[in-house]
Amino acid sequence: MPTRTIITGASSGLGAEMARQFAAKGHDLALTARRTDRLDQLREEILAAHPGRTILVRALDVTDNDDVFTATTELTEELGGLDRFIVNAGLGKGAPIGTGRFDANRETAMTNFVAALAQMEAAMQVFREQKTGHLVVISSVSALRGMRRTMTTYAATKAGVAALAEGIRLEVLGRPELAIDVSTIYPGYIRSEMNDKVEQEQKMMVDTQTGVRAMVAAIEARKAKALVPPWPWVPIGEVIKHAPLSVVRRLT
Q: Residue 159, SS3?
A: helix
Neighbours of 73 (CB within 10 A): 14
The length of the chain in residues reads 252
User: Which of 14, 176, 195, 169 shows the shortest CA–CA distance to 88?
Assistant: 14
Instruction: Select which of 154, 186, 189, 233 is catalytic.
Output: 154
Long-range contacts of 49-55 (CB under 8 A, 24+ apart): 49/20, 49/23, 49/24, 50/23, 50/24, 50/26, 53/2, 53/23, 53/26, 53/27, 53/28, 53/29, 54/2, 54/28, 54/29, 54/79, 55/19, 55/23, 55/28, 55/29, 55/31
Residues 153, 154, 157: CA angle, nearest 5 degrees = 85
Sign of the Cα pseudo-torsion (241, 247, 251, 252, in order): positive
Neighbours of 151 (CB within 10 A): 18
| Annotated catalytic residue 189 | no
Nearest 10 degrees: Cα torsion 82, 228, 116, 193: -110
How far is residue 24's CA from residue 148's CA, in Å, rounded to a whole number? 38
As annotated, the active-site residues are 154
